[in-house]
Structure 1
Amino acid sequence: MLEQWLKTELKPLAQEIDLEGFYPKQILQGLGEQGCFSSSNQQSYLQSVQQEVDTVRLVSKYCMTTGFITWCHLAAITYVRHTKNESLKKRLLAPLESGKVLGGTGLSNPMKNYANLEPLHLKARNVDGGYEVKGTLPSVSNLGEDHWFGAVAKVENEDRNVMIFVECRGERLDLKEKKDYVGINGSATYAVRFLDLFVPTEQVLAEDADAFIKTIRPYFLVYQIPLGFGVIEASIASSESALKKQNGCNAYMEEQPDQVKRDLARQQERLKEQFQNGPLIWESLLPIRKASAEDAVKAAHMTMLHVGGPAYLRKSHPARRLREAYFLVNLTPTIRHLDKMMQITSNEAIN
């Protein structure tokens, strides 16, 4: 039923999202209304996450930009699900899961900071009733006037970081939209400047952000993996539809959809094992996340070759998927970020 809904509602929007930067807010809201983000049913939390992972895969088959903002929203939900701030959870979890309130991530900079790639861009000053936050986040996706997002700031004069949940409204929060990307321009991505923004204690996700990030980062990562799976599945379908082009000469090419299918099945099985062995472990997910991104690029490239001339029109689905796949290898954690983390993990295991 979900896939049929996506065919009807999302597929016709894919070109407008890709070429005109249309933000498909109604798709996120529709997913929420259909219960795709709900954790209040009878299944376990890990089963809910697995169901949400499959939702991201299905969405990404039709438009990975929409799959990406679905991931952003699920990341925001993850923060609220795991916070010990019960008043914040009571206020926002149900609206986020129902799609009435939408959310973004804001953790690109902190994730890079924890890998020693760059410093934290935000600073927080402890004041009566909360914090005053200043600094700039270069890119935060899935934002709008009625959206929320997570962020991490270094607490001045203290040896700790704080994680906050911020509403996009407010005079002391300046948002500048970014639409100059090769792809994913319908992702509602903004540069966000904090102008001594007051964040009350009621909006603090964790006073110890470092410990909190360790808890939530496996979920942050696992929701990214199906972005690649969706692109790969769509690329396979496009390549298979072109098998008879020019008297079947595609059969002589080195890149073939059957091999891509086998590679995809292997990675999907690896991911399935992570859920069976639970809880999810960050280090075990890193190589699957890397393979998902790299295989998506290979699959999208294969489709460009198999479809041929029609694929080289900017409005074609294969060209869109190629742009989407190249974004995926640069999505935090990027391929080079993943390589560093995997090498560190490997060295720690040896020592």
Structure 2
Amino acid sequence: MSPSLAPATTGIDALTAWLDETAEGLDDGSVPASTVLPALGAAGVLAIGAGPFGGEGDIADAVEAVAGVSAHSLAAGFVFWSQRTYLEYLLQSPNAALRDRLAPDLVSGRLAGATGLSNAMKFLSGLEELQIRARADRGAIVFDGRMPWVTNLRPEGFHVAGVAEGEDGRILCVSFAGDDEGLVRSPDLGLMGLRSTNTAALSVASVRLDAERVIHPDAAGWLPQVRPAFLGLQCGMSIGLARRSLREAREAIGAGRSVLAPAIAELETRLAADAEALRSGLRSGLFRGQAAALFRIRIGLAAIAAEAVALELQASGGRAYLTAFGSGFARRYREAAFIPVITPSLVQLKGALTPHDQGAA
């Protein structure tokens, strides 16, 4: 199988084998980003929890699927997160026509979906102002602004969700298409890893849309409903990376490093507890009213991922620093460094928690 091509057969086993073969290339960009979505679509993972569009399970099952992919390649997990999160917006949108038109191509991987709502989620937590403005003009809505960092902007075709503030103060969520006039995609950003993720910036200059592209007309009230999926699916990346590093650490310890076994077991217990708390909170709807609880889980899982990679290094010893043996570890080390800065970053989440914690003191 050529590492530049998607798996020729379908199913989870074929996807797993392909990800293990291409993980380094997806990280350094030598395997084309265009291969990722077709591989995920062929394996059926994009449809998990997608209800009428072919997927069994719920959003918690989708988080587990993101974790499963991320254990083999965080680049692929990052794309998966963006795709499945955009799909979730449509599943929770009152715009059935837009959902029915786009969802089949999203679950198959023929069309890319980008969340584009990082700015909006930070706005929701009082961390920054919205970066897109909207105005009415002759029966259309005209948008101006920018999205400085968006993943899964696949040149072969994409839709991206964006939130804008109107002249009347109303906030709405819309779906921009890659071929909309006035929407300009930058070249891929020069990331130090996760390069095959089609991550770029977008300029929004007098883009005209009509009502058929409105995902939700009242985003201020709607965003808290979709935030649990946005952050929950994001947590799947930390869970998958931590599980993989802990497995590698456990397999690497020998008689000389058995002293690490208690630390590995303790971290496995913490990881399982946080993953269960996430799963339970998503299914019960807890996080819609208690965002702080979800923020703490996201922060905790990022810390666990970093500790897991550190334990993998200690268990592997100097061999992890040899290029002949340590390429997988080196990639996971870079991946762990990326987890804290995914928007909203850990610094931003901790800042959002500060008033809450002070009020509880």
TM-score (norm: length of structure 1): 0.89
Corresponding residue for 2:353? Answer: 342
Corresponding residue for 2:257? Answer: 250
C-alpha contact 1:9 1:27 (8 A) present in aligned 2: no
Could you give the per-residue CA deviations for residues 283-332 of structure 1, whole angstroms, max 9, x where no partner exists?
Answer: 33222111111110111122123223332357711111111111111111
- Return the letter of the residue paired with 1:274: G
The answer to whether 1:292 aligns with 2:301 is: yes
Corresponding residue for 1:124? Answer: 134
Could you give the per-residue CA deviations for residues 243-265 of structure 1, whole angstroms, max 9, x where no partner exists?
Answer: 12xxx332345983222212212
The answer to whether 1:259 aligns with 2:263 is: no
Selected match of 1:107 from 111, 117, 140:
117
Could you give the per-residue CA deviations for residues 145-202 of structure 1, whole angstroms, max 9, x where no partner exists?
Answer: 30111011121x3112221101112441111133422322221101111121112221
The answer to whether 1:178 aligns with 2:188 is: yes
- Return the letter of the residue paired with 1:26: T
Larger mean CA deviation between 226-235 and 175-184 belongs to 175-184
Selected match of 2:104 from 89, 94, 97:
94
Cα 1:192–1:276 shift into 2, 3 Å: closer
Equivalent-residue separation in structure 2 for 1:323 and 1:160 (angstroms): 40
Matches for 1:148-227 after TM superposition, within 5 Å? 148-155=159-166, 157-227=167-237
Equivalent-residue separation in structure 2 for 1:69 and 1:345 (angstroms): 32
Could you give the per-residue CA deviations for residues 112-139 of structure 1, whole angstroms, max 9, x where no partner exists?
Answer: 2222222211111212332111112110
C-alpha contact 1:176 1:192 (8 A) present in aligned 2: yes
Equivalent-residue separation in structure 1 for 2:63 and 2:32 (angstroms): 21
Q: How many residues align?
A: 345
Could you give the per-residue CA deviations for residues 258-278 of structure 1, whole angstroms, max 9, x where no partner exists?
Answer: 222122122122223224534
Say which SS state the counterpart of residue 185 (structure 2) adopts.
strand
Cα 1:111–1:343 shift into 2, 3 Å: same
Identity of aligned residues (%): 26
Question: What RMSD, in angstroms, separates the aligned Cα atoms of the two structures?
Answer: 2.5
Corresponding residue for 1:271? Answer: 278
- Return the letter of the residue paired with 2:137: V
Selected match of 2:245 from 235, 244, 248:
235
Cα 1:107–1:252 shift into 2, 3 Å: same
Structure 1 gaps of 5+ residues are: none
Larger mean CA deviation between 88-97 and 313-322 belongs to 313-322
1:230 to partner: Cα distance: 0.6
Equivalent-residue separation in structure 2 for 1:168 and 1:26 (angstroms): 18
Say which SS state the counterpart of residue 62 (structure 1) adopts.
coil
Could you give the per-residue CA deviations for residues 84-109 of structure 1, whole angstroms, max 9, x where no partner exists?
Answer: 12221221122222322220111111
Structure 2 gaps of 5+ residues are: 1-9
Say which SS state the counterpart of residue 138 (structure 1) adopts.
strand
TM-score (norm: length of structure 2): 0.87
The answer to whether 1:139 aligns with 2:146 is: no
Say which SS state the counterpart of residue 131 (structure 1) adopts.
strand
Corresponding residue for 2:5? Answer: none
Corresponding residue for 1:78? Answer: 88
Say which SS state the counterpart of residue 224 (structure 1) adopts.
helix
The answer to whether 1:318 aligns with 2:325 is: no
Equivalent-residue separation in structure 2 for 1:319 and 1:255 (angstroms): 24
Equivalent-residue separation in structure 1 for 2:187 and 2:30 (angstroms): 11
Selected match of 1:51 from 56, 61, 82:
61
C-alpha contact 1:10 1:27 (8 A) present in aligned 2: no
C-alpha contact 2:37 2:110 (8 A) present in aligned 1: no
Cα 1:219–1:313 shift into 2, 3 Å: same
